[in-house]
Amino acid sequence: MALLPSIHSPADLKRLPLSALPDLCGELRDAICNQVSRSGGHLAPNLGVVELTVAMHYVFDFGHDRLLFDVGHQCYTHKLLTGRQALLPNLRQRGGMAGFPDPSESPYDLFMVGHAGTAISTAVGVARGDERSGEAWSPGNQAGRRVVSIVGDASIVNGVAMEGLNNCGTLRRQFLVILNDNGMSIAPPQGAISRYFDRLRISRPYSDFKRAARDLASQVPGGEAATELYHRIGESGKALFTHDAWFSHFGLVPVGPIDGHDLRVLTEYLGELRSLPRPALLHVKTVKGKGFDFAESDATSFHSPAAFTLERIGNQACRVEISSGGRSFTAAAGEALAKLMERDPRVVACTAAMPDGTGLTKVLDRFPDRAWDTGICESHAMDMMAGLAKAGSRPFFAVYSTFLQRAFDQAFQEVSLQGLAVRLLLDRAGFVGGDGAVHHGFCDIALLAPLPQACLMAAMDEPSLAAAMQFMAEYDQGLSALRYPREKVDARFTGEPCPPFELGRARALRISPAPDVAVLGLGPMALTAMDAASEVADRHSVAVWDARFAKPVDGELIESLLLRQVPIITVEDHGATGGFGSLVLAEAHRRGLDTRLITVLGAPERWIGHGSRSEQLAETGLDLASIVAAIERAARSRASQHR
């Protein structure tokens, strides 16, 4: 008899005997894999934490206690155990389960999170807040709230995570950090700390832990509390204090590593650490993609796959085929960058833990001495690129638009303020579909536009992407950025020559000597504008430009149109506040032109939920029908003024 349908809350889970939990974990894995195969989503990270999540909910009461996820893409089991099974069939779709924790779905989710490194710091804040209100658990307040944060081995090296660790050791209360160590980020994790974890996993035998345990119990921060724990958890547990544990220097009682797929071991140690009145870190060893050979053997490809076909023999997956769907901007950017590096030995590149997601995997393989994966360290990556620029290289930093936000200070201080030419390839610009609000790239222009000499561009298709990157390679006046969406490239202009990029010059796509309306589209929105112009061709003459530059905008084009009283519509999948349209308005105002003739179409000031990218564009008035309607309004307004 299936167990998962009977789990409506963690209270139902706690009624099961420990012996039943492995069967439940198998059902959870099947449910997750079956759904992700239909809708896409984060597969391998979720498969890897099934036992850990079940054990956490079996031991703690997160309806009362505090659970904070780092990144949050590993939360599917947590959601299925907390009353959200009915939402799973529409995972990452409108009306379905969000792919990340979401407080609007359930009180079991404390924060909406999608960026790495944040859980320890927010957990410290929650822990201090509960202390202030008298709600913190302590030996004298058994009804209080406990605090647990779960962090990956790649996330914990993030600068914010280090700051959180530096502060959590000053707490004088229960506080548990669970280090989910699977030896993977999206790709293999980078850096010295990762190598430290590797040595700990590979070269430290159980007997070494056991011999060191008695001395360590009195040495680790926590003093009497650690000694008490040493006596309480028995001989087998004593071996789990590491003699030279790096985390002890942060003031945490370090325990582990333990097997993150052994439910008996997990529940035993979580049960004991639950009542330790000091900050502790439990090092848990897991396998990313656990339970399915195809995901375990290729955890990078199955980190967040699109829908895929899963063929089975009995209960075993025997063949998996990930859906394709055409050539992506990401793949095109990776190939264009590789060609630049072939032509120019000064070009170097980096990514921050996203070699697959930014298309740099082949670049890293082909140019190992000129391309780097820094791990989840966007701020460091930006500063490293600044140093390379200072030393005479031409650096490209490939980063998701949403993750650029983490490195803005460095873009300001170490790049722009120094007059250095660092080049940003902003993948996933605009709306990103199923990942939702945590990953939308809607403020990169607003962030970067105030920086002097910043040159901000967008690519509408693959030829324009390659042309823009060639322009960037030669732009040495300051920071430059090229934005492009999580989309397939449109091939309609592929057979035509693509004119080279000229600073601040738009490209005419549809010419009219006396247009009723002019549309300036940024990036792929220019192609949607072309479709809209065709829709109204029997009623209105519409000229369309690929804007190419959000900064500097094409001021001469804007002036020529407005002096002829031609209404301008700007279209962008960026926030309307501070975006391309705002910069067009500012340029028109600077030139003393009538800004009332300008209509700005962009993302509104509200959070846009998960769903398909087409749904998100429709919701925000950026789809074909909305642009057609805007053209009709502008044409009617112009006609009425000329009567």
Cα–Cα dist 405/254, whole Å: 33
- Farthest-apart Cα atoms in the chain, separation: 94
pTM of the model: 0.88
Catalytic residue among 288, 370, 483, 551: 288
What does the mean pLDDT of the chain come to?
A: 89
Together in a domain, 448 and 574:
no
pLDDT tens-place string over residues 266-282: 999 999 999 999 999 99
Cα–Cα dist 117/69, whole Å: 10
**pLDDT reading at 314 higher than 70:** no
- On whether residue 11 sits in a domain, the answer given is no
Cβ neighbours of residue 315 closer than 8 Å, sequence gap 6 or more:
none
In terms of Cβ atoms closer than 10 Å to its own Cβ (0-12, 13-18, 19+), residue 541 is middle
Q: How far apart are the first and last CA of the chain?
A: 77
152-158 average pLDDT score? 87
Together in a domain, 449 and 555:
no
**Nearest by Cα to 533 from 561, 569, 575, 582:** 569
- On whether residue 311 sits in a domain, the answer given is no
Catalytic residue among 79, 238, 290, 406: 406
Which of 251, 285, 319 finishes a domain?
Answer: 285
Asked if 379 and 159 touch (Cβ cutoff 8 Å), the reply is yes
Together in a domain, 462 and 514:
no
- On whether residue 31 sits in a domain, the answer given is no
Together in a domain, 130 and 256:
yes
pLDDT tens-place string over residues 496-546: 899 999 999 999 999 988 999 999 999 999 999 999 999 999 999 999 999
- CA Rg, the chain, in Å? 27
Together in a domain, 381 and 446:
yes
Which of 285, 312, 341 finishes a domain?
Answer: 285
Together in a domain, 276 and 367:
no
- On whether residue 449 sits in a domain, the answer given is yes
- On whether residue 84 sits in a domain, the answer given is no
Together in a domain, 345 and 453:
yes
- Burial 338-358, CB ≥16 within 10 A → b, else e: bebbeeeeebbbbbbbbbbbb
Q: Does the active-site annotation cover 406?
A: yes
- Burial 59-91, CB ≥16 within 10 A → b, else e: bbebeebbbbbbbbbbbbbbbbbbbbbebbebb
Neighbours of 312 (CB within 10 A): 9
- Which helix (DSSP H) or strand (DSSP E) does residue 447 occupy? helix 444-448
Catalytic residue among 51, 268, 272, 378: 378
Asked if 613 and 432 touch (Cβ cutoff 8 Å), the reply is yes
Question: Which CATH number characterizes residue 239's domain?
Answer: 3.40.50.970
Q: Which residues pair with 148 in a beta bridge?
A: 67, 176
Q: Does the active-site annotation cover 378?
A: yes
Neighbours of 478 (CB within 10 A): 17
- On whether residue 44 sits in a domain, the answer given is no
Cα–Cα dist 610/90, whole Å: 11
Which of 422, 448, 483 finishes a domain?
Answer: 483
Asked if 178 and 215 touch (Cβ cutoff 8 Å), the reply is no
Question: Which CATH number characterizes residue 532's domain?
Answer: 3.40.50.920
Together in a domain, 479 and 511:
no
Q: Does the active-site annotation cover 210?
A: no
- Which helix (DSSP H) or strand (DSSP E) does residue 119 occupy? helix 119-133
Together in a domain, 263 and 135:
yes
- On whether residue 19 sits in a domain, the answer given is no
- On whether residue 260 sits in a domain, the answer given is yes
pLDDT tens-place string over residues 558-595: 999 999 999 999 999 999 999 999 999 999 999 999 99
Instruction: Please tell me the total count of domains within the chain.
Output: 3
Together in a domain, 417 and 454:
yes
- Which helix (DSSP H) or strand (DSSP E) does residue 588 occupy? helix 580-590
pLDDT tens-place string over residues 10-61: 999 999 999 999 999 999 999 999 999 999 999 999 999 999 999 999 999 9
**pLDDT reading at 159 higher than 90:** no
Q: Decide which of 636 and 205 is more confident.
A: 636
**How distant, in Å, are the alpha carbons of 394, 410, 425, 602 from that of 390?**
9, 14, 19, 36
Together in a domain, 144 and 276:
yes
Can you give the length of the chain in residues?
A: 643
Domain that holds residue 333: 329-483
Tokens, residue 73: 């893409």
Together in a domain, 172 and 110:
yes
- Which helix (DSSP H) or strand (DSSP E) does residue 443 occupy? none
Asked if 215 and 230 touch (Cβ cutoff 8 Å), the reply is no
